[in-house]
Structures are given as C-alpha cells and as structure tokens.
A and B are shown apart, each in its own frame.
Chain A
Amino acid sequence: MTSASAAKAPRKAQYRYGYVRSPDQDARTTVRHPVVVVGAGPVGLTVSLDLAQRGLPVVLLDDADRIGEGSRGICWAKRTLEIWDRLGVAAPMVEKGVTWKLGKVFLGDDPVYAFDLLPEEGHKMPAFINLQQYFVEHVLVDRVCDVEGIDLRWKNKVVGADRRNDGVRLTVETPEGEYQLDADWVIAADGARSALRDLLGLGFPGLTFEEKFLIADVKMSADFPTERRFWFDPSFHSGQSALMHRQPDNVWRIDLQLGPDADVEAEQRPEQVTARLKKMLGERSFDLEWVSIYRFNCRRLERFVHGRVIFVGDSAYQVSPFGARGANSGVQDAENLAWKLAAIMRGQADAALLESYDRERVQAADENIAHSTRSTDFIAPRSAAERGLRNAVLSLAPAAMFARRMVNSGRLSIATVYRSALSTPDETLFAGSARLGAPVPDVPVRGNDGKNGFLLEKLGSGFEVLHVKNGARPHAPEGTKLIVIGEDLHDDAGLFAQRFDATPGATYVLRPDQHLTARFRAFDADAVRKAMDRALSGGR
C-alpha cells in the first residue's frame, strides 16, 4: 500500500540507529562483496539472516537510520513465523504478539458471520499473530547484530546501479558523500518505491484502486475481545467498511474506508480523525499512535530476476492489504531465494536455478494479487450495480451458508503450493495434508533425549530426507541429512503418520526451505539423489 501523503498526526521513530563510516568508503579501489541486500525491512532483514546462516557474508544497506513510523504490517502468518523460527527470531515475537483465531463480520450493527481459523493442533507456531511491524523489525535487527557476517549500514542510500555481466556496481550516498561498491549479486528489498526498480528502468504494471482508507493505531484500554472485527455499512461509519484488530500493549488497528473522493488533507487532520474514531469508539479515551491515509495498487514486475539483481517483497509486487499478503509473501520470497543463491554461490547449482525463484514466487505473487483483488471487489464495489450484488450476498449470509462463504473481508495468507519443475512428480498416491511443492506440515515429535518438540525445529538448513523406519537404517546420499522416524524422532501422537500419509519405508525429500520436493513409498538412494539433483538443477 502507498500513503497518499505524509501523515501529520503523531509519528514516532521507535528505534534509532547510527550511521557508521565503512572502511569501503576509504578503500583505494572499489571493494567487492558477494551479496548486497538493499533495504532493511522485514524482507531484507530476513534474507540477510538466511544467507548469513548459510555461511554467506552480506552487506545490508538502508537509506534510513531508524525503524518505526507506525505499525504498518501487523498480521504475521504461520509460515512466516516458521521461517523466523528457523532463523532464531520467532520466540520473542510469538511471546509478545497477540494470538487470535476468531473473526466476526457485521452488516450494519448486526453480526452476520463468524469464522474460526480453527488452528490444527500439533504445530509449534500459531495460525497468526498480530504484532506491530516496528517490533518485528527490532527483533530482526537485534539478531542481525548478533550473528556473524552481516554488515548493516544505515544511512546508505543506493543512487546508482551499473549492471555488468558478473555483478553490479552500486553508487551509495551517505551523510559523508558517495562511494561505490561492487556486488556479485544484489537483492532489491527496497520496498514499494524501490529505487533499484527505477534505476533499472523497469515497468511496474497493474491497477491502482481509487478507494481511500484511513488507517489508525489507537492506544486505549478496552475490553473488546481478541478477535478481528469487520463491518460493512455500520451505523458509526455509514456506507463504508470498518476493521478493528488488536495489537499488543493496548494498541488497536482501525481501518476505515473513506470512498474514492475523500479529501486526503482534511481527513488527516487530528480533529477530523478523532471525530471519526469517537463515532466508533464512543466516549472512552484513546490516544492516536499513528495515522495515515492510503490507497493501494495491485501490480508486479514481469520478472523478479534481472541478471544479477533480484527483487523480493514489495519492490517486486504490491497487493491490497486485505489478507495480510504483502509482508508475509515477502518473507517467503526471502526463504525461497536464500538457499538457491547460497547453492549457486557455493558452486552446487548453476545460476539457472534462479529461474525457479522467478517462477515459484511469481506464482505466489499472482495468487496473492488475485485473492486481494477479489477481497477488494467485495469490500469496495466500483458501482451501484456491484454494490447491489455485494449487499445481496451480505443480506443472505445469516440465512444461507453459501452466502456466508462468499463474504470476503480478506482471505488470509497461506503458503503457496508451488507447481514447480523442481518437484519430482508422485508415482504413487499420498493422502494427508503434506503437499508436493508446499512447506511440510509441522507435527509434534519426541527426540531420543526424551524431550518433546516439533518436526520443523529438528530440520537442518540443507536437503533433508525423512524416512519411516522399516528395518535397517538406510544410507542417505551425500549432501542430504537423514532423519529416521521411529529411530531419531518418534511420532507418539501419530500425527506424522496422518499428515504425511506415512507407511513403513516411506521416504520424503525436503528442500532446504522445508518444501516437500519428492516422496516415495520405499527408500531408494538413487531416487533420492535424482530428486535432489532435479531440485538443484532447476528441474532440467
């Protein structure tokens, strides 16, 4: 989403960091680095951590010296949390975040529909948490400072990019002037207004929606329940939609639709914002933490990989905020890219593997754009004729299940099932919730130390082979790690058997991003090796 203009209401820089002069600025010749990541938002920080954890040094540049400026993204999905858990940062987020699962939809002032995310038991991570983006970024920055190998440079703004066959020469502006650095690879995580996208002269086609929304974070002690509430045409905000969602520290996200003709200047005046919120919240006292007016775009780059420059997150695509599909998708871009780039840089894979990053994450972006566009069609009808159909669905919702299923206040982010050339097609049928091309489902397991834990936290960072014990321990091919279920880990609850449709001898090959890439009813070292080769070769 894009702010229509800067907010005048209170803005707080939550955490401030300092510019430090880099030795690169004093070097006689331009210093060369394997990877430069541009943009220290959730996506840039995640991809930097993932690369560093894989042993690759990263230079991370950010044009600001602070994080903060409002909560922005607040809703973090299970897959995102699983990625962050692998990177060692999920625990403080889950501890601080608000875990929710109930959503309610109102027509006027009457509830018409409630949904329960019904999180499946036996996963380490919850379905969703709500947590202010500045808190997420703070945890990620702390981790970046703790791990080896990430050189984070604040107040380093990329103003030039000269593409070469074997890399990119970047020109970087700092408070002490410009300097240049060379990168074998550049990851553009520089957001919706990506400077790198402009420097490369790339088109960014798509739709801009004229509908404007007021977004406000309000601090108040209120006894509202921990649920997502969405109103169509409530009496406190007639003719429009409204959303209320809880964050930690008594902060509430409120989102009010204003229509396409709203006066952006007038709507941001604190007295106007307060008047609108009072109609909603009554006479209870509240403080405005952050206010912005936004409209949004749905668009994406045609390709995410441009030679040695790779786009991730908002720089590559933009979606409407309904469904929390922006930042969550960006973090999943980061995990998809990190292992592939690491394999290429270590010489285990050819650069052609990046083609699969492009295909898989373009597929994900298109799914997210389609879902969020559908939600937008429902929330903000473009004409009286469209509004008529929308209202008919809402009026039938209390009486008919089929109409409730059509009510769309945002379909929440779930991981994409890649239709990928990297996957080895199934030769036999598998039931269960594990899907080829998707992250494997988490399940509770017991280790040989007697401790209970979860499958995903037992996985390493490379190719993993899960094998269900069936006699002697097999020999896994070089380059993979073998975990025998029933020998190394124990499926006491039977959920591995259920979710993986596991039978004795069944063997599952996982990519380094925990996605299922092949499965067999029996162990065959040659088949496992071929599955891994296929994934590393980009499916050729």
Chain B
Amino acid sequence: MGKLVTDSRFGDPDEAYVALIEARRGLTEAAAAALDTRLVLILANHIGDVDVLKEAIALAKSVR
C-alpha cells in the first residue's frame, strides 16, 4: 500500500459533492450507474497509474 491519497484534497469538499449530486439529479439509478462508470474510466485514465487504480479498487471493495 502506499500511493493512494485518501486525505481530503478538495479545498471545499461540499462543492465537489454538490457537483456529483447535480450530475445525477433527475437520473434513474441505471442512468446514474452508467454515468458513474464513464466517470470511473475518465478519472482512472486521468490518474494514469495502475498501482493507484488497484489500491482504489481494493479500498472500494473493502467497505460494504
């Protein structure tokens, strides 16, 4: 473990949360899930580090 940053990096975390909420406002669950999947691909590519990606997957799978 080691490269994934889980500290808060947004100056205003509430603003980031609202951006994500507003992106899915009015969408069905299926449409929101599809949006999320596209976002995962876009952000994974932006990170561009497969080790970090694997750590993030492990963290996401570790909680209910």
Residues in chain A within 8 A of chain B (CB atoms): 371, 374, 377-378, 381-386, 388-390, 393, 395-396, 398-402, 404-406, 408, 411
Contact = CB atoms under 8 A, between A and B. Distances in A.
A411 B14 contact: yes
Given A396-B63, A399-B59, A399-B63, A384 B29 contact: yes
Interface of A is mostly: helix
A383 B6 contact: no
A525 to B, nearest CB: 40
A95 B19 CA distance: 42
B29 A374 contact: no
Contact of A386 (B13, B21, B31): B21
7 contacts: A378-B17, A383-B25, A385-B31, A388-B33, A399-B6, A399-B63, A406-B14
Interface string B1-28: 0000011111001101110110011111
Contacts of B32: 385, 388-389
A395 B63 contact: yes
A374 B19 CA distance: 10
Nearest to B31: A385
B64 interface: yes
Contact of A383 (B8, B9, B27): B27
Nearest to B13: A405
A393 B63 contact: no
Q: What is the predominant secondary structure among interface residues of chain B facing chain A?
A: helix
B5 to A, nearest CB: 8
Contact of B8 (A381, A384, A401): A401
Interface of B: 6-10, 13-14, 16-18, 20-21, 24-29, 31-33, 59-60, 62-64
Given A386-B21, A402-B9, A402-B13, 10 more contacts: A377-B21, A383-B24, A385-B28, A385-B29, A390-B21, A395-B63, A401-B7, A401-B8, A402-B6, A406-B13
A388 B59 CA distance: 17
Given A377-B18, A377-B21, A395-B64, A402 B29 contact: no
A393 B10 contact: no
B13 A389 contact: no
Contacts of A398: 63
List the 4 shortest-distance A-B pairs measured between CB atoms, nearest first: A385-B32, A400-B6, A405-B8, A405-B13
B24 A386 contact: yes
Contacts of B26: 383
B61 to A, nearest CB: 11
Contacts of B18: 374, 377
A393 B31 contact: no
B40 to A, nearest CB: 12
Given A374-B17, A388-B32, A399 B62 contact: yes
A400 B13 CA distance: 13
A374 B14 contact: yes
A452 to B, nearest CB: 38
Contacts of A399: 6, 59, 62-63
A405 B10 contact: yes
Nearest to B15: A374
B37 to A, nearest CB: 13
B43 to A, nearest CB: 13
Q: Which of B16, B24, B26, B31 has the most CB of A within 10 A?
A: B24
Q: Which of B14, B31, B64 has the largest count of A CB atoms less than 10 A from its CB?
A: B14
B20 A401 contact: no
Among A393, A395, A405, the one with the most B-chain Cβ atoms within 10 Å of its Cβ is A405
A396 B21 contact: no
Given A398-B63, A399-B63, A406-B13, A389 B7 contact: no
Contacts of B64: 395
A366 to B, nearest CB: 14
A532 to B, nearest CB: 34
A91 B20 CA distance: 44
A408 B14 contact: yes
Contacts of A390: 21
Contacts of A406: 13-14, 16-17
B8 A402 contact: yes
Contacts of A405: 8, 10, 13
A177 to B, nearest CB: 52
Contact of B25 (A374, A386, A395): A386
Nearest to B9: A402
B18 to A, nearest CB: 6
Contacts of B25: 382-383, 386
Nearest to A408: B14
Contacts of A393: 17
B16 A401 contact: no
B23 to A, nearest CB: 9
Nearest to B32: A385
Given A401-B8, A405-B10, A389 B24 contact: yes
